[in-house]
Structure 1
């Protein structure tokens, strides 16, 4: 009589690698990966003015500094975040040279000659908190937005969202957004 030997049961795992590979591809294709959100800022061109070699008069530069102690200094005077917008507006709209017919400034001798020549120099320390730096940028942007909105109201008698692209070019020429950002490195 024949003896029956039982062989241990085996599982065919040859297609197991194929199945794992297909599952991997399925999950890679169907999974959504959240993208990091950034700041909607357009980087400045290499030279925002027509003549970049032309020296800028000292009174046309407003120096804003955020230091490592999270203090905001404008022209070496400590100010609050809430004051930044009004100080930028008064600096840009100063009309120190009395050549701007749309400016409402006080014509101070220590502030800018004309909005087209006003430069905001924003510098920060390496230990400045990111939130403070962005908050200062926002205040500068608000100042320019308000100046431009007033100009639009005076010149075109419209709201900012109602102007055309050609009118917006005129507004940008009247109040150009010239900001220089610098990281101050300390040893």
Structure 2
């Protein structure tokens, strides 16, 4: 009986079709994760020509150590109380020039929301989850105050207005109307959140 030889060529005509179908399948079904960053304004590259003098009472110091403990204005504070303390600082209106502030008007605390700065400093070994939680509470303090003023002026929440303004699907006429409102609220309580150099101790 004669031996059967190997076929002269392998029919691979359908392999390209299969590979193409698999490629389409994976492109359609795969989800690409996008990391959301923190919305922060970086300092300018060149320092300003004139030194800006900032009074110590206008700086709200928040320190996180490597154990996740919070030191706010030299007092040990629970994270759950951080937002309330930040709001009290931002809304103080100590110099009497803020007509919309509802704080204690303590002359030893911040003069005006436009002058108030929150300084955040963390240890190099601070847990990322703790750092983000503290960030959320501080940003939440700004949002709470902005929501209050947006309700007073426009009967809407600031966060809803800002989300609608930043939504690419929002009509340009609506965006133009929202732009001035969003900026007006942001100017009442400008987000001045400064991150000090990380400590190594």
TM over 0.5: yes
Residues 106 and 33 of structure 1: is their aligned pair in 2 closer, same or farther, counting only changes over 3 Å?
Answer: same
1:27 partnered with 2:22: yes
Match of 1:180 among 167, 175, 194: 194
Superposed, which structure 2 residues align to 1:18-167 within 5 Å? 19=15, 23-24=18-19, 26-31=21-26, 32-39=29-36, 41-47=38-44, 53-154=51-152, 156=153, 158-160=155-157, 161=160, 164-167=178-181
* Higher CA-based Rg: 1
Deviates more, 1:61-70 or 1:5-14: 5-14
What is the root-mean-square deviation in Å for CA atoms of aligned residues? Answer: 2.8
Could you tell me whether the CA contact under 8 Å between 1:126 and 1:183 is conserved in 2? Answer: no
CA displacement, residues 94-151 of structure 1 (integer Å, 9 cap, x when unaligned): 1111111111111223321100011111121122111111111111122111111222
Task: Please give the alpha-carbon distance, in whole angstroms, between the structure 2 residues aligned to 1:153 and 1:94.
Answer: 19
Task: Please give the alpha-carbon distance, in whole angstroms, between the structure 2 residues aligned to 1:41 and 1:149.
Answer: 20
Could you tell me whether the CA contact under 8 Å between 2:121 and 2:199 is conserved in 1? Answer: no
Task: Please give the alpha-carbon distance, in whole angstroms, between the structure 2 residues aligned to 1:125 and 1:17.
Answer: 62
Of Structure 1 and Structure 2, the greater helix share is in 2
Could you tell me whether the CA contact under 8 Å between 1:62 and 1:119 is conserved in 2? Answer: yes
Aligned residues: 178
- 1:171 corresponds to: 185
Task: Please give the alpha-carbon distance, in whole angstroms, between the structure 1 residues aligned to 2:18 and 2:123.
Answer: 49
Question: How much has 1:65 moved relative to structure 2?
Answer: 1.4
Task: Please give the alpha-carbon distance, in whole angstroms, between the structure 2 residues aligned to 1:100 and 1:145.
Answer: 18
Residues 15 and 61 of structure 1: is their aligned pair in 2 closer, same or farther, counting only changes over 3 Å?
Answer: farther
Which stretches in structure 2 are left out of the alignment for 5+ residues?
162-176
- 2:164 corresponds to: none
Residues 25 and 67 of structure 1: is their aligned pair in 2 closer, same or farther, counting only changes over 3 Å?
Answer: farther
Task: Please give the alpha-carbon distance, in whole angstroms, between the structure 2 residues aligned to 1:185 and 1:12.
Answer: 72
CA displacement, residues 139-166 of structure 1 (integer Å, 9 cap, x when unaligned): 1122111111222233x25122468331
1:9 partnered with 2:23: no
Give the TM-score normalised by the residue count of structure 2: 0.74
Question: How much has 1:26 moved relative to structure 2?
Answer: 4.3
Residues 11 and 185 of structure 1: is their aligned pair in 2 closer, same or farther, counting only changes over 3 Å?
Answer: farther
